[in-house]
Structure 1
Amino acid sequence: VVARNIWEGRWREEVCALYTRGGHLSFYAPLTKKPSLVVSFDEIISVRECNPDTKANPLPGLHILAIDTAWRCHYFAFLEATALESFSSKLKNSLYLTKDQAQQNKAREWETFQLSLESALTGTIGPKWASVSTGRKSHQKKQRRVLNGRRLSFDLKPVSDSTVGEVTSVQSCIATYAENLLKMALAFSPDTLDATESSFIEFLDEASRLRSLPLHKIDFTSREALCIFVNLYHCLLQHSLLIAVDGLPDKRSATQFKRRSCYEIGDDV
């Protein structure tokens, strides 16, 4: 039994079942027979223990394990350290026995990521943020796709040090971060993107740091603030094009594409 992270700030107690023959992990909410989440061994990049600072720890006293996939890091909390170590050892052994080394190093095809990507962007049990209308004549609403949700804030270095007193110093730090993030995004092309490439995963992790961006430290009347948000807008646009689940937008789908693609920044979206 573990506490599985649903989204930032929300955890739920679930049963975790490891199927070595089927090659996957399944998570079941209380009183349910259908799994709320299935993670294939083929998706797993690494298994690691998280040791966040006491201040950043979302569940003080519990022990957190992270299972990294290309699109999302799944977090699970255990009551006892021995339970975490036992589960981690069994999972790593299963991964070693069921994965062929040649296949593990081979680049996966884009199609194999589409299902896990859509699930990672929109959530597995319901959205954190309200759905959006996809057009004037459309009454149907679609879930937002949060593109910077690979890692949680406690598992990342904050964009700026909250102990810094000078607003200008923090704002300059944010401006540099936004500029560098855009440079990283522009280094990739939708035509040649390899989602398993370490540099792309590094970009996804850097984008996840937007969750810790202190919006209240930005002087919105300054020119630097304008540069920050222009850079973030273009970064979001490039990011959206890189991982367009339904293909690149055309004239008919452009509105839906723009309204559904979003970043979670600070405590807003």
Structure 2
Amino acid sequence: MQLIIVSGLSGSGKTIALNVLEDSGYFCIDNLPLPLLTQTASFLASSGHLHAAIGVDGRSSSDLNQLPRGIAELRQLGLDVRVLFLEAKTEELVKRFSETRRRHPLSDEQRTLTECIQLERERLEAVSDFGHRIDTSELSPNTLRAWVKDFISLDRSRLTLLFQSFGFKHGIPLDADFVFDVRCLPNPHYDPALRPLTGKDAAVIAFLQRDPSVQKMLGDISRFVAEWLPCFIRDNRNYLTVALGCTGGQHRSVYFAETLAAQFGSEYQLLVRHRELT
């Protein structure tokens, strides 16, 4: 049985992710107490379910520290276990709770909403680096749905290398393992003919390919990633996110993400995401 554990901060999109998984044929259970994880997963497997998803969040409190051990036990039983962790910036979570007028699950008379979010973030610290992370701060629900579908289509036996473009003016992605800043390079935005285009368009690609500094930085980043990827593979990492940032996330960062993906695509399992193009 393939089991996906969905975790993350309240308001980050766990319900959307579980709905996508349910629509994709997964048997879904939300907010399962962790002491019941092994028993529940074993029961689902013995009942003939091939795909299942279980939501685990900060309400489990101190039990969350036991999640890595619980995952190891399930894998020893022969289950294919994967973890999807959703997060978002605090200010975005505050905005979402204010718009929906819902109470935070950890709220009480002593804590503010911001304090509740920080407490939950601390409780989930042991889980956040254990699987595939998605920062939903700048994502629409439809984009998150598409990214979850990408996640379940991956071959878990191989490392997934993810190249993500973004704009610094919208903030650095929380799910990035490496962040490269390409804002020092020539900006197509200042050419009126190129401004409405993106780094996927031929005219922008030609503009950037002509500049020696662009090609030098591209080569430097490519060599850095190639040199250190084997180290992450030896560390049994399943996912590595390389984020490329320019000012607006439309031209240079998109070009870098697409070009690097083309270079590494023949050897590694890849995902390419353009946060500001969604």
**TM-score over 0.5 for the alignment?**
no
**TM-score where L is the length of structure 1:** 0.35
**TM-score where L is the length of structure 2:** 0.35
* Larger helix proportion of the pair: 2
